[in-house]
Every structure is written in C-alpha cells, then in structure tokens.
Amino acid sequence: MYVKGVNLGNWLVLEKWMNPALFEGTTAEDEYYLPTQLSKDVYEARIRIHRSEYITERDFAYIKSVGMNAVRIPVPYFVFGDCPPFLGCVKELDKAFAWAEKYGLVILIDLHTVPGSQNGFDNGGISGVCKWAQQPESVEFTLKVLERLSERYGNRSSLWGIEIVNEPITENIWNLMDIQSRYKPEDPEMAKGSAPVTLEFLRKFYVEAYRRMRKYLPKEKVVVFHDGFELKAWKDFMREEEFKNVVLDTHLYLMTAEAEGCGRSKEDYITYVHDHYKKDIAEMQEYFPVICGEWSLFNSYACGIDTAGGQSPVNGVMATEDLLSADKKKELYRALAEAQLEAWNQGIGYFYWNYKLLLDTVNEPGWIGWDSWDFGKCAAQGWFPVEYK
Amino acid sequence: MYVKGVNLGNWLVLEKWMNPALFEGTTAEDEYYLPTQLSKDVYEARIRIHRSEYITERDFAYIKSVGMNAVRIPVPYFVFGDCPPFLGCVKELDKAFAWAEKYGLVILIDLHTVPGSQNGFDNGGISGVCKWAQQPESVEFTLKVLERLSERYGNRSSLWGIEIVNEPITENIWNLMDIQSRYKPEDPEMAKGSAPVTLEFLRKFYVEAYRRMRKYLPKEKVVVFHDGFELKAWKDFMREEEFKNVVLDTHLYLMTAEAEGCGRSKEDYITYVHDHYKKDIAEMQEYFPVICGEWSLFNSYACGIDTAGGQSPVNGVMATEDLLSADKKKELYRALAEAQLEAWNQGIGYFYWNYKLLLDTVNEPGWIGWDSWDFGKCAAQGWFPVEYK
C-alpha cells in the first residue's frame, strides 16, 4: 500500500499556534503549562470540548473522500490518563479506530511527546526543555506507554503501525534551529541541562522499543522510527533478521530547507526538493521503506517575509498583507505539492502536516501564508491536488 | 442569484442532539437550561471553545469549494450579549462576514430564537414553552434585535438578507407535531399558557418588523419571512408598493411529509416532493420569491425505523443496525436530493439543514440514518451531488 495520509495534529497533542482560543487568557506557550493557569474545571471543559469537536467521524469521511488512505495520530505520553492534571485520551483513540474501520482508512499512532521532552519544541509538550533521554525513569515510562499502545491497538484491523517517538532532536538540528533561544523555557531551572539526544542513545532506545512493542504487535503491523533529523545516519541500523517491517520516518519542511540555505523562490524550492528530498529518500529506500511523516506547502516566499524557519505571528513575526495574487499563490503551491509528492514517491508514502488548523487569516492577517499548513484549506483552494472519490 | 446554501445551525444557537458533548453531565435539553446546571466558568468555557472550533474560516473555504454560494446563520435573541448568563455572539458573526467576503459567499442572518419562544421546539431555545407572541415586551425586544442586526450588518457586502424569525408555529403544525407532549417543558409553570402563534399576529408582526428593519437595511438586501408552516396562506400579504425585496421562506422536511401521510419508500418520497413541494413552490413563486430555507435527506426509510417526525435517539428511539447497503443508501439519497433540488428550482434557492453535526454513527449506532442531516457527510459520501470547484 502506498500511504497517502494527513496528520491529525493538535487534536490529542496541542499546539498553541494552531488553536489560540484554547490558550486564551493564559500566558502558557505549551500543553504543560496550560493547566497551571486555569482552574481544573475550566481546563477540563476546554480540553473535552476541543477533543469532541476538533476531529469527529465526519473528518474521517472527508479524508477518505479526497483520496487519502491513512491518518497519523499524534498522542501524548499521558494517553493512558496516569499523569494528572492531564486528561488521558484512549477513548478518543478508540473512537478513531472505529471511524477508520468504517471509512477504510488506516492509522499510524505517533507518540508525539515524552516526559521531559525529546526536543524542546512547543509541540514536544514543554518548550525549551529537552531532558528525556537523560532521565532513565522517563525513558522507561515511554517504553511502557509503547507496550501498552501495542497491546491495546495491535490487533485492530485499521492499525497500520506505531511510531516510537516523534522528532527526537540530535545535535545538528539542535544547533541549526538554535532551540534554546527559539523556545524559551518557562522555568529555566527545569530546563537546565537540556541537550540534544545522541544518535547512540537513539539506536539503543529504538532497538529496545522495537523488542518491547513486538511482544504485542503482530508482524504485519509496522514499527516506525523517526530519523532524528539525520536521514542518512541509519544505513547500518537494524540490519539483523530480527527486525521486521520497520519503517524509517523523515520530516522534510521547506522552512528547514531555507534554514539550510535554500533560496526563497519557486525554482529554488523545486530544485532543493529534487536535489535533496528526492535523492535522499531514494538512497535510504535501499535500507528501509521510507515515509515522509510530516511536510507541508508552507514557505517564506508565499508568506512575503522570511519566517526564519517557521517563526510565526505567535513569535511576533508577521506579514501585513497578501503579496501574491490568488492565482500566483495557487500556481506556487501546486508546483511545490507536485515536486514534493514526486519526492515522496521514492519512498512508500507521506502524511501532510497538518489536516486542520483553526487560524483565521481574514480577521488576523498576520497569519496569511500560514494557512498552507492546513490540508483542508489547501484542498478547498486547489493548492493541493485532490482526487475526489 | 440562485441561492445554493447550507445552514450553520448549532454554531451560535445550540441543539443538544447535534452536539451531545456540550450538554454532558447535565440533564438540560436546551440552550436555556444549560447554564443553570454548570458553573459560570465551565458554561462559558464550553461555549467559547465550541464557537471557536465548530465553524471557522476553513469551513467557508470548504463550502465555497463544493459549489455553494450562501450560508444561513441562525443567531439567538441574545446575540448582542444583553441577556446574562448567555454569551453574545456578534464577534463570531463579525468574523463570519469577513470570511464570507473573502471566499465569495453571502449570508442570510436568521433570528432563530426569541424570548419566551415562538415554537416550543428545543431549537427555539426552550423546549415546551411557546409564549413569545403573548408577551408584548418579548415582541418589542425581538423588533429591537432585528433593528440592531439591520444596523450593524446592513451595509456589509456579503449580507444577502435577514430573516425576521425562524419557524413561528401556527395551529395546524402545533397539533400535527403534538408539541406539548413531544417537547416536555422543564418547568410546567413557565410553560402554562403556551399556544400556537396566530397567522393574524404574524402578519402584523412581519409588517412591523419589515418597517423597522428597512430603516437600516438597504433596499437591495432581502427581508425574509418564514411561512409559519402555512406556505399558501400568504397570497394576499405585503402586496403594497411599500414592501420591496421580500422573500418567503418555507421549510420542507420529509419527516413532516411522513407525519402528513407520505409512505416510507423512495417512490413515495419522490412522488410527494413532486406533487407537493414542487407544485406549492411554483404556485407561491407567483407572489414572492420562494426559498426553501431548511430541508434535508433525512427520512425514516433510511433509518430503518419510523422516526415519527424526527424523534431521535435523544428521545430513546433508535435503530440498532444499518439496514441499507452503502450502495442502496447512496442511490436513495441521491434520488431524494435530485427530486428536492428540482423542487427548490421552482423558487430562488435553498439552504440545506445542516452543514455540520457532531454525531458519531460508528460508536453510537443508534444515530445511523441521522448522519444524512450532515451536509459534510452527505457530500463526502456522494449522497449529495456536489460540483467541486
């Protein structure tokens, strides 16, 4: 099966910029601090209504209708509800499996956050902190969550697989993105000692996770591991007979390409996609089936400003008007979609990031350009080539 | 312009059955009683998150992309925020106008509830109570709201018009639907004296409303009045030169056809639509431009049970399994859509009820059949013929 999917990000793992109303009246920048600034009742009311409305059965019907066959669902480490004040979300995940079965979609469960954070991103759950790999009890907790997910969902017909952990950050990207100045920690004391995850640690952790997941996960379900932003570092990894049906996940964003020196024009982006994404995936596909688990049409050129690797209006960086005509924008996005889809074609498929956002580009024009993160808006406006079923 | 639209019901005026999570943990059956069973903070948190997620800019992009050109937006009498504990919603409505302008849609504002209720339906705001027309201060309040809406939105380019009041109930339908046993009042004392609205009252009220709205509403914007479920009672109404650009709104549901004796089969429904809806609209189009402001594909045959005029699982009536194959269901709904669209074609257009619901037919199979109320699901599953742009 060639995977054509969307990420259901911001449903069970929050990102403030995608859904500002959830964070209204607080200064919290991430999921970790949200409950510290709201009463228990209000926090729970917000989360419950959000979860009940953001993704529902009708989204699965829609996703199927636009020719997709898969969804990647980010889940938090507190998915099982054992880390108060956070609310577990297996009920929501259970429902999603039933919806997927009805509409003929498959699910990749993606463990998107871990205690202490694996990357220091806001979407890692706690901005500016990256200490998970240094905390043996957090690592063990993570392995247990992976076992439990494998046990609970391993035999669901609509399970495609489980991804061990999303975007553990390694040294190069840690420096490139200048994590500690970009994501200021709320509590510098807690952030002290934050550091990138080593490839050495990751290799050991992935092998351990694979073994513990496979106890429950049938062989035909895939185990997915993220490349840690080092796509080519895995050629000698898991070569042994023991490892079956393992998929390599890489996340390729044009904003990262920009940070690596790619120019801000349609031609530059397309050349970069061809020379790097396409070539690199083809190269790694010799070792693992490769999936591009996150990508989008987002780029600085369409925003009309240098977004410095995706710095958003949340960070005070914003365009003031739409610089491209609707036709020009459509032409640009279509070309970037086609080039990238061709690159993913060297592997076994992709998941667009993200299926849905709640940004309002009309009443808050600073968000113009950021709407390309929203698959629904891309499909509706012909930015993404969709085959209606 | 031929109007092809959807209703944005359950966004600013709640209906419990469309969105059970909002009412969770309460026994409230309607919007009026919801805040009496929740703390102020929790009530407000639920409402705010609901409003921020249920309808957003991306829905307007989607609605445009499926070939629609209009939305009808039900608003409550407390739209201006002057009836605590209810939260006003002009901010949301303001945003909707900006979205409509961007995506090229027009808006019909529909005053869906009034103090004391005009129909006793749950969607009138307070189940089992129908006393508005008997309360001069409630009637005056309503007229003021209509003036204020006309003043605030009269000059917005995306305003198509304003509908005076949704579904004031008159005698025949009051008896046919047996309102007082179907919608049990929470407070029988408050409901005492409830009675259908007379056509006489309505005529006077509509004229008064027209005059007060036109002070602010430019001539090119339509004033819409609902037929009170008596489509043919308006032939001698507003014949004078004074009344300009007035549209007659009728709501035609197959469940009401059933209650009036239509059989439960595809052929029966189609014959009924042809002999009644199509003929009656053509007849009344001689007097007013006629719009079918609410209709759907919902019917008892597809549900596999007699829904007795739309009695839902909320009322304890439910099917236990899907009796029609996916293909049969699609064929049925397509045929009913085509027949009804042909009938609306005798007038000036239609609004489907409803754009969106949050029902889960997979995890709560009692809702099977009720998903046809959801335009999004209908479009995604090919039940409704959609022209993707």
Share of chain B above pLDDT 70, in %: 98
Q: Which residue of A has its CA nearest to B94?
A: A363
Instruction: Report the candidate in B100, B121, B99 with the shortest Cα–Cα distance to residue B112.
Output: B121
CA angle B221, B224, B227 (to 5 degrees): 165
Chain-chain contact of A64 with B380 (C-beta, under 8 angstroms): yes
Kindly list the distances between the CA atom of residue B177 and the CA atoms of A134, A216, B134, B181, B298, in Å, as whole numbers in the listed order.
Answer: 67, 55, 21, 9, 17
pLDDT given for residue A389 in this prediction: 79
Is the pLDDT score of B3 beyond 90?
Answer: yes
Could you tell me the residue range of the domain that residue B103 belongs to?
3-12+49-380
CB-based burial of residue A324 (10 Å sphere; 0-12 exposed, 13-18 middle, 19+ buried)? middle
pLDDT of B256 strictly over 80: yes
Rounded to 5°, angle at Cα A145 from A144 and A149: 120
Shortest CA distance from B39: residue in chain A = A41
The ipTM value here is: 0.96
A158: nearest Cα among A60, A77, A14: A60
Interface test with A, best of B59, B362, B388 (most A CBs within 10 A): B362
Give the contacts of B194 (CB within 8 A, at least 6 positions apart).
B120, B128, B129, B130, B131, B179, B180, B185
Test mutation, A46, A56, A94, chain B, max B CBs within 10 A: A56
Average pLDDT over residues A297-318: 79
Closest CA to A248 of A275, A217, A210: A210
Q: Poorest-confidence range of A51-60, A169-178, B161-170, B235-244?
A: A169-178
- Which chain A residue has the Cα nearest residue B371? A58
Choose, out of B23, B53, B354, the residue to mutate when testing the contact with A (most A CBs < 10 Å). Answer: B53
Q: For residues B109-133, give the mean pLDDT.
A: 93
pLDDT of residue B154: 98
For residues A15 and A373, is the Cβ–Cβ distance under 8 A?
no
Residue A122 lies in a domain: yes
Averaged over B199-213, what is the pLDDT? 98
A282 Rama class: left (phi>0) / alpha (psi -120 to 50) / beta: alpha
Q: How many domains does chain A have?
A: 1
Q: Do residues A140 and A77 touch, judged by C-beta distance below 8 A?
A: no
Please determine, for residue B318, whether its predicted confidence score (pLDDT) is greater than 70: no
According to DSSP, the β-strands at A246-251 and A106-111 are: unpaired
Nearest to A49 among B22, B58, B374 (CB): B22
In a domain, B95, yes or no: yes
pLDDT-derived band at A3, boundaries 50, 70, 90: very high
Cβ-defined contact of A42 to B45 (cutoff 8 Å): yes
* Cβ-based burial of A353 (10 A; exposed 0-12, middle 13-18, buried ≥19): buried
Evaluate whether B153 touches B162 at the Cβ level (below 8 Å).
Answer: yes
- Residue from B63, B146, B160 nearest B103 by CA: B63
Q: Which amino acid is at B378?
A: C
Question: What pLDDT does residue A319 have?
Answer: 65
In a domain, B268, yes or no: yes
- Residue type at B74? P
- Is B368 a residue whose pLDDT tops 90? no
- At A23, is the pLDDT very low, low, confident or very high (cuts 50, 70, 90)? very high
| Per-residue pLDDT at B298 exceeds 90 | yes
Pairing of strands B222-226, B159-163: parallel
Q: CA B117 to CA A279: how far, in whole Å?
A: 66
Ranges of H-type helices in A260-320: 266-272, 279-284, 300-303
- Give the burial class of B371: count Cβ atoms within 10 A of its Cβ; 0-12 exposed, 13-18 middle, 19 or more buried: buried
**B61/A361 CB distance under 8 A:** no
Please give the average per-residue pLDDT across A124-151, as a whole number. 96
Per-residue pLDDT, averaged over A209-216, amounts to: 98
Task: Report the pLDDT averaged over residues A87-113.
Answer: 98
pLDDT at position A314 over 80: no
Q: Residue A58 is nearest to which of B22, B24, B374, comparing CB atoms?
A: B374
**C-alpha separations of A275 from A171, A192, A260, A279 in Å:** 23, 39, 13, 6
Helix, strand, coil abundance in chain A, percent, nearest 5: 45, 10, 45
Rounded to 5 degrees, what are φ and ψ at B385? -75, 115
Helices (H) and strands (E) in chain A, counts: 14, 8
Looking at the predicted structure, is the pLDDT value of residue A315 above 90? no
B300-326 mean pLDDT: 76
Kindly report the average pLDDT of chain A as a whole number: 95
Nearest CA in chain A to B356: A58
Question: Which residue of A lies nearest to B373 if distances are taken between CA atoms?
Answer: A58
Q: Is the dihedral of CA B16, B22, B25, B28 positive or negative?
A: negative
Torsion of CA A326, A332, A337, A339, to 10 degrees: 160
A162 and A153 Cβ atoms separated by less than 8 Å: yes
Is residue B357 within 8 Å of residue B374, measured between CB atoms? yes
- Which pLDDT score, from 0 to 100, does residue B179 have? 87
Sign of the Cα pseudo-torsion (B269, B275, B278, B284, in order): negative
d(CA A235, CA A18): 36
For residue B41, tell me if it sits in a domain.
no
Supply φ then ψ for residue A292, to 5 degrees: -95, 100
Q: Which residues pair with A107 in a beta bridge?
A: A71, A159
A280 Cβ partners below 8 Å, 6+ apart? A231, A232, A250
Is the pLDDT assigned to residue A235 strictly greater than 90?
yes
Q: Which of B46, B58, B378 to mutate to test the interface with A (most CBs of A within 10 A)?
A: B58
**A348: CATH:** 3.20.20.80
Minimum distance, in Å, between the CA of residue B268 and any CA atom of chain A: 29
State the nearest Cα–Cα gap between B36 and chain A, in angstroms.
Answer: 16
Each residue's pLDDT tens digit, B343-366: 999 999 999 999 999 999 999 888
Assess if residue B389 is contained within a domain: no
- B316 pLDDT more than 70: no
Which of B62, B98, B363 lies at the smallest CB-CB distance from A362? Answer: B98
**What is the band of B321 on the pLDDT scale with cuts at 50, 70, 90?**
low
* Average pLDDT value for residue range B256-270: 94
pLDDT band at B233 (very low <50, low <70, confident <90, very high): very high
Average pLDDT over residues A179-205: 93
Instruction: Give pLDDT, residue A295.
Output: 98
Q: Token pair of A121, please?
A: 């991103």
Residue-wise pLDDT for B17-35, tens only, equals 999 999 999 999 999 999 9
Q: Taking residues A151-159, what's their average pLDDT?
A: 98
Give B-chain residues touching A52 at CB under 8 angstroms.
19, 21-22, 358
| pLDDT band, very low/low/confident/very high, at B275 (cuts 50, 70, 90) | very high
